[in-house]
Structure 1
């Protein structure tokens, strides 16, 4: 049996104004999959399970976009 997520970890979350039912479901979901989150910022690693390739034309150049934050 997996130990429930400790309450102090939920306090690290920043959730906007949503219905209480959504918060309850979020907690349920986070508790169910708690082992995939890095709650202490020290256990994140890497995987070799996923690869991707970006195919571009030979004469393609990088494009820089200005980041607009509202």
Structure 2
């Protein structure tokens, strides 16, 4: 299980952030959640991107 955490991606592009999210789902090895929720989570991420905050499977990404 991944513990809640904060990722500083202040110097990352949107593409790099999306790759980060995809890598998280791959590394998580939680196949069901990865396949079922990756697109929904990325869509939610896109919606919250302008607010510079996103929570994915209990991991908080704060954009400074």
Normalising by structure 2, report the TM-score.
0.41
- Judging by fraction of residues, say which structure has more strand: 2
Write 1 or 2 for the structure with the bigger share of helix: 2
